[in-house]
Structure 1
């Protein structure tokens, strides 16, 4: 498995890709459910992975109309805010990859479904913000992933044509968004393994950010690295 082009820019998802946050989110939903004396199914929580906040709420209302989703969501948000403030772990290999791309001068952007306030909180608390001149969030676009809007906006802000962009994603909605934008995604699955339908999309799927880094290294020749 190789890359067939040298990316002019690399766009990054945030949660589950750079920051090991998905387990923390699920734990907060479960804790909030316990506080309010209700239960949430694990498969429902997994279905929410990678979705914009509005889509998560819509899914909850569809699957669990018996719940007070607003109150449950507010409690979850408060619990999660505290976890983010305490610091969430980074995914292995992310700092090495970002530092390498920075040293090469490859343009980079974050494209996350997370709302602006929370995304800024995470990027600053984790120290990742120093690698990204451009951050596009779910607050900045009308149609969230799997629509292509967020990736198209990031590419436009970087001044790079979509077809020259590489996207690193962990989730199905993110992969579909990248493909819809005409970009090349590499998926690094987190909690939710790719479904047969996602695998059938034919994109590259790797086991870690280190594997993604290896694919990228093969595309940048010594000449390009010195440019």
Structure 2
């Protein structure tokens, strides 16, 4: 396989605290361009409004890349472990390859995407080892998406139901939720590994709706990946795309109802204010 030319940038930090060693893996030393400003792109309605969901009953959250800025850690772990096994003729994967082939996908799917010539059990062990490396990195440094605490407080103050819905394995989900101090925030945590099919199939989101006893007509989702947005839409819910890392147009093309750069985005708070006013007027 040949390395792909980079056209989209995840803008991963070249942070010394992320430079670590895993057995004989090389230290992290990638230099990434500085972040550029990200605007919001509403679609599917004239003003990108979520007001059609009134009365809102619940909000569902993906975890990786949506609650926390974990994609750089996944990228570093995959990059170094794939390089160690000679993937891509020993050249490290780049950001575009990560976005297009890895981000948002379930580990079982990644076995066939990245390691098609391996026996499934061997490929899954590679994924298990990669997740262990990711957790070590996450334990050292994990950043919430900017404005997350404000959104969580808003959700709690207005009494909306909430669930976390993820393709991540249980050990990852538990670690991230714990580090973000959201153990008491989520009423339900749905793991794709406990569903018949992972995202991009709607099964995990349908399970969350059933667990919360809410209607998809009165629920929306925060997601950062193409597979997650497709899963939310497949379950009958609009998705707010989080473009912290993935390209905005990619999320729009996947079906996001509006795209924000983080939880401080003015377009998001315009929508939340409308929802709050509708709730208080009931």
Normalised TM-score (structure 2): 0.71
Among 205, 210, 215, the residue aligned to 2:271? 215
Are residue 45 (structure 1) and residue 92 (structure 2) matched?
no
Task: Work out the number of aligned pairs and report it.
Answer: 224
Does 2:136 correspond to 1:82?
yes
Query: Are 2:50 and 1:3 equivalent residues in the alignment?
Result: yes
Asked whether the 8 Å contact 2:229–2:254 carries over to 1, the reply is no
Residue in structure 1 matching 2:166, options 93, 107, 112: 112
**Structure 1 unaligned spans of 5+:** none
| Rg comparison, structure with higher value | 2
**Which residue in the other structure is 2:64 paired with?**
15
Give the SS at the match of 2:179: helix
Aligned: 1:224 with 2:276: no
Greater helix fraction, Structure 1 or Structure 2 = 1
2:184 aligns to what SS in structure 1?
helix
Q: 2:231 aligns with which of 172, 177, 182?
A: 177
Kindly state the Cα deviation for residue 145 of structure 1 after the two structures are TM-superposed.
0.8
Partner in structure 2 of residue 24 of structure 1: 73
Alignment check: 8 A CA contact 1:170 1:189 kept: yes
Aligned residues: CA RMSD = 2.5
Which of 185, 197, 203 does residue 131 from structure 1 map onto? Answer: 185
Check 1:60–1:11 CA distance in 2 against 1; reply closer, same or farther (3 A cut): same
Residue 19 (structure 2) aligns with: none
Residues 55 and 70 (structure 1), Cα distance of their counterparts in 2 relative to 1, 3 Å cut: closer
Q: Whole-Å Cα distance in 2 between the matches of residues 197 and 28 of structure 1?
A: 24
Secondary structure of the corresponding residue to residue 183 of structure 2: helix
Aligned to 1:73: 127
8 Å contact kept, 2:104–2:167? yes
Structure 2 residue runs without a partner (length 5+): 1-46
Aligned-partner SS, 1:23: helix
Shift of 1:123: 0.7
Q: Contact 1:99–1:131 at 8 Å: present in 2 too?
A: no
Aligned counterparts of 1:124 and 1:203: Cα–Cα separation in 2: 29
SS in 2 for 1:78: helix
